[in-house]
Amino acid sequence: LVSRKVKSDDTVLDIDGVRIGGNSLPTIIAGPCSIESEEQMEQTAAYLAGKGIKILRGGAYKPRTSPYGFQGMGVDGLILGNRVAKEHGMLFITEVMDTRDVEIVAEYADILQVGARNMHNFALLREVGRARRPVLLKRGLSATIEEWLYAAEYILSEGNNEVILCERGIRTYEKWTRNTLDLSAVAIAKKETHLPVIVDVTHAAGRRDLLIPLAKAALAVGADGIHVEVHPSPATALSDNEQQLDFAGYDQFSDALSSMLKVP
Ligand code: PEP
Ligand code: MN
């Protein structure tokens, strides 16, 4: 179902007037790694809305390496993320980690995110396939392209055609980046499937100083958009403080990409 052999034209999502894929301008999804507080979300949404960003991200359920790391605000985070996004005329995307939470997350989020660690969670894939919300599906940490596309197939096979693929880097022997951004996967996903493809430069790089060149490269190989983490004060963030951009950093990022984000 994900193949271009089945559907040759690009799938274009229209989520409350926000278009993703096809000939639409590249979509930017931005916001903090974790939803931490009202002040943090309010400042971030106000800033990003002012930059023309239409999709606000923020994790309420966090897949942390350590069980002692900040696990997210849960339902309170969903309520906060939804409210702040709506106040600023934005869509809200957040991760769902557990089949038991799909219903509540779908109530507050405009787009459901399946994270890299859950790409192989087939029960979750089926469950979001039954939800009436678009799904952003991240590529697993060590998933082949084929496994990633089959994971998308699980969602479509349950009747949900609104899937966005997201390349977020894979694990290799390389240590100078957190993950290795696989641009070939982006080009292949664009060629072999009709689904929109977004590149998460933040989790791919794991370091702020590479986000501009990686985002440019992603758009150059045909990505339909970029996913980037932005936090008012990355140094004090409760997760991913090495890689989130502050507002000045995002100003530079959007200036550097501006010619690629507009109609020529
Ligand atoms: C995230 O986007 O919040 C996240 C945890 O990313 P990933 O699943 O790609 O690691
Ligand atoms: Mn993060």
DSSP per-residue string spanning 106-129:
HHH-SEEEE-GGGTT-HHHHHHHH
Tens of pLDDT, residue by residue over 208-234, are: 999 999 999 999 999 999 999 999 999
Rounded-to-integer distance, Cα 252 and Cα 250, Å: 5
Predicted confidence at residue 263, as pLDDT, reads 64
Distance (Å) from CA 174 to ligand 2 centroid = 19
Is the domain spanning 13-257 CATH 3.20.20.70? The answer is yes
Predicted confidence at residue 9, as pLDDT, reads 98
Domain ranges of the chain: 13-257
Nearest ligand 1 atom to the CA of 118 is 8
Concatenating the DSSP letter of every residue in 218-232 gives HHHTT-SEEEEEB-S
Rounded-to-integer distance, Cα 174 and Cα 5, Å: 35
- Measured in degrees and rounded to the nearest 5, phi and psi for residue 210 equal -105, 0
Predicted confidence at residue 264, as pLDDT, reads 56
Predicted confidence at residue 262, as pLDDT, reads 82
Query: Which residues does the chain have with pLDDT short of 70?
Result: 263-264
SS3 category, 65:
coil
Distance (Å) from CA 29 to ligand 2 centroid = 13
For ligand 1, atom 9, name the residue with the nearest CA: 116
Q: Report which of 143, 151, 104, 150 is spatially closest to residue 124, judged by C-alpha positions.
A: 151
**Residue 251: other Cβ atoms inside 10 A:** 13
Name the residues around ion ligand 2, CB cutoff 5 A. 33, 240
Distance (Å) from CA 170 to ligand 2 centroid = 15
β-sheet bridge partners, residue 200: 227
